[in-house]
Amino acid sequence: MEIGLFFENLRIALKAIRTNLLRTILTILIIAFGIMALVGILTAIDSIKSSLTESFSLMGANTFTIESRSTRFHGGDRGRRINYEFISYRQAQEFRERFKLPATVSIHTTASGSAIVKYRSYKSNPNVTVVGADENYLLTAGYEIGKGRNFSIGDIATNQNVVIIGSEVERTAFAKNENPLNKFISVGSGRYRVIGVLESRGSSMGMGSDRVCFIPYTNVRQYFSRSQMSYSLNVRPDRSEMLDICSSEAEGIFRLVRNLSARDKNDFSITKSDALSQMLIENLRFVALAATIVGLITLMGAVIGLMNIMLVSVTERTREIGTRKAMGAKSVMIRRQFLYEAVVIGQLGGAVGILLGIIIGNIVSLSIGSRFIIPWAWIILGVVLCFIVGLVSGYFPAVKASKLDPIIALHYE
């Protein structure tokens, strides 16, 4: 019985919607705009979050980096002391020897951010990044070998003139289908044999991660030497759940390496691989908040518009209501009919808004190279919000309609 009444009320609601088609379409568009703004922006934000997480995971998942800080002065009982900003070659080596937890430790340094690569008649722009690395660096930094091999322990220990190049360097320096392996190229003032080519990682956050050359960090001291060259350390625990424990242990060991007393502050920084992405994702919360406010304000306008349409509908259908009451329709049935009508209009507006929001959000997603996203959580939120809009907008007109006196209603013109 209840199911039959439900479908009967739904049929009457759809008939009333078709009767006032223009006003209904305008109301649907108002609701759709609010839902579109909400779902579209939140879908785009989810896409950006996914892209950020993926981009920074390429920089070495479950890894932390020990780097130098700026020069600091500290006071103490023995007077003033200075902690130099650079991490020396000796300190990097000592840390690796003293760190005993199950983890992979790599040493690296930026030799140049504006090196020139030469091969035969080819000469690159001075925009190639040269990194001095050891045999563990590719693993801890999230790189993979596409052709050839990684550095060996022997390459590092004997200071070999070998290089691993990025895919962009291979593409620009070597002719199509030419195998770069075992070819000799000039990087800065040194001549190196190519032993490997990296898998492409693309450009991330404006950085050309394929426009790089890796050479043994021991070799950097010969061809890219400068005073106070600073080294960095990447540490990748064997188990991801050990990340916090390893970073705490690394901090204590490196304080000993730097000869810091208990009163001295750290003159180095430990940065986890996902720290920057988490910071950026946190900032996206403000964008999400702004989108929510815009969507809710628009939906408030939709509530007012829909309520106005329903009140006009009650006035226009006064004789119809009187006729139904005279034929035995109860007040609860009249109230349900108008509530159903308001809810159906709200859901139609929500459906249009959700569809447009998904399209707009995924246009942003595809434009930044992310995947297609179906935001189920925001779809459910949109449906619920539109249901609430329908109830709030339709309740007062429905109550007004249900309280009409059938005698007065029948005489209404």
Domain check: are 31 and 80 in the same one? no
CA 185 and chain centroid, separation: 38
End position of a domain, from candidates 220, 241, 272: 272
Domain check: are 110 and 138 in the same one? yes
- Evaluated on CA atoms 350, 351, 356, 357, the torsion sign reads positive
Domain check: are 230 and 349 in the same one? no
Instruction: Report residue 69 as tokens.
Output: 């800080």
pLDDT given at position 280: 66
Domain check: are 106 and 248 in the same one? yes
For 5-66, the DSSP string reads HHHHHHHHHHHHHHHTHHHHHHHHHHHHHHHHHHHHHHHHHHHHHHHHHHHHHTTTTT-EEE
Domain check: are 309 and 195 in the same one? no
Instruction: Report residue 389 as tokens.
Output: 């809009």
pLDDT given at position 360: 86
How many domains does the structure of the chain reveal? 2
Domain check: are 241 and 282 in the same one? no
Domain check: are 92 and 144 in the same one? yes
Domain check: are 197 and 250 in the same one? yes
Domain check: are 49 and 78 in the same one? no
Question: pLDDT 10s per residue in the chain (413 long)?
Answer: 467 666 776 777 777 777 777 878 888 888 888 788 788 888 888 777 777 666 655 555 578 899 987 544 444 444 444 445 689 889 999 999 999 999 999 999 999 888 999 998 899 989 899 999 999 999 888 888 999 999 999 999 998 999 999 999 999 999 888 999 999 999 988 899 999 999 987 654 444 578 999 999 999 988 887 777 889 999 999 887 888 899 999 999 999 999 888 888 888 888 887 666 666 667 777 777 777 787 778 778 777 877 877 777 777 777 777 777 777 777 788 888 888 888 888 888 889 988 988 888 888 778 776 778 888 887 888 888 888 888 888 888 888 877 777 666 565 55
- Evaluated on CA atoms 184, 188, 190, 194, the torsion sign reads negative
pLDDT given at position 169: 92
> 256: Cβ–Cβ under 8 A, 6 or more apart, which residues?
98
- Evaluated on CA atoms 35, 40, 43, 48, the torsion sign reads negative
Residue 87's domain comprises: 64-272
> 123: Cβ–Cβ under 8 A, 6 or more apart, which residues?
116, 117
Instruction: Report residue 228 as tokens.
Output: 């106070």
Instruction: Report residue 205 as tokens.
Output: 């956050």
Domain check: are 143 and 159 in the same one? yes
End position of a domain, from candidates 243, 272, 301: 272
Domain check: are 137 and 37 in the same one? no
Domain check: are 201 and 97 in the same one? yes
Considering the entire predicted model, what is its pTM? 0.58
End position of a domain, from candidates 233, 256, 272: 272
Pairing between strand 122-123 and 145-148? unpaired
